[in-house]
Amino acid sequence: MFVMRRFPRPLLDALYGQLPAEAYRTIVAELARRSPQQLADRVERRWFGRWAHALRQKDEEGRPLWTANDIAFYLVVASSCSVPDCEDGMLIRSDTACQQCSPPEHRFVPASGPTSSEGTRRAALSAMRDSLLASPHRTGAGANSRAARPARKAAPESMDRALARARARKDDPDTPRLMAPPPREEPGPEDSVILAARAARVTEEQDPVRVAAVARARADRAARRTQGK
């Protein structure tokens, strides 16, 4: 069946490939009010939203909290909302949140008591400003005020001890030192196509046969120029 093929593989393995009778009857009943695709979407949505890790959940005594049959049933059972078009908090036709089972988390309610006086508001703002200025975790202006504080003077004895430790580390031959990196090797013909072509050209120019041919050609050209004069 189309809906059963959409059940996740880990759950089917735990069910040994057999759909529980209760889950099967629930699917048949839900097909009267939902399409097969809507039921398949419900299975995938609930599995990845809630039940993907339920097979491994244990109680305090190490026993499974949920059986595979229970998970299969909860993946297909209808939601408890009384709105017929509601599908896990969303309305199918309008694709909006259901106001019956998913009310807004924050709702503005106008105050019904007497309004505060201007003096009360100013006093509250002043108290908030003073508490912010006194906070040790402020940045910006607070950081500038902390920077303007006088630095705490160190005791001369602590400075002497610090200098003694620094000198001892400097004179200790076992203290790790920062070493200059080894000089970088010059690239060779094997590191670059251009360098390889340049080296081949130099080798070709130094070939004795080529050098002799070039010299002979130059001598012939000079002789022809002399005869022409």
pLDDT of residue 135: 60
| Lowest mean pLDDT, pick from 13-17, 45-49, 61-65, 144-148 | 144-148
Structure tokens at 156: 């001369």
Between residues 110 and 158, the one the model is more confident about:
158
Would you say the C-alpha torsion 102, 108, 110, 115 has a positive or negative sign?
positive
pLDDT above 90 (res 74):
yes
CB burial readout 195-204, b (16+ within 10 A) else e = eeeeeeeeee
CA distances from 122 to 32, 125, 127 (A): 63, 5, 9
51 SS3 class: helix
Q: Tell me the pLDDT of the chain averaged across its residues.
A: 78
pLDDT of residue 104: 54
Mean per-residue pLDDT, 193-198:
80
pLDDT of residue 118: 76
Q: What is the pTM of this model?
A: 0.45
* Helix 193-205 / helix 208-228 crossing angle, nearest 10 deg: 60
Between residues 215 and 77, the one the model is more confident about:
77
pLDDT of residue 25: 92
Mean per-residue pLDDT, 61-86:
89
Between residues 176 and 52, the one the model is more confident about:
52
Reported as type and span, the H/E element at residue 90 is: strand 90-91
Span 93-142, pLDDT tens digits = 888 888 888 655 545 455 555 666 777 877 877 777 777 666 655 554 44
Mean per-residue pLDDT, 37-64:
88
**% of the chain with per-residue pLDDT over 90:** 14
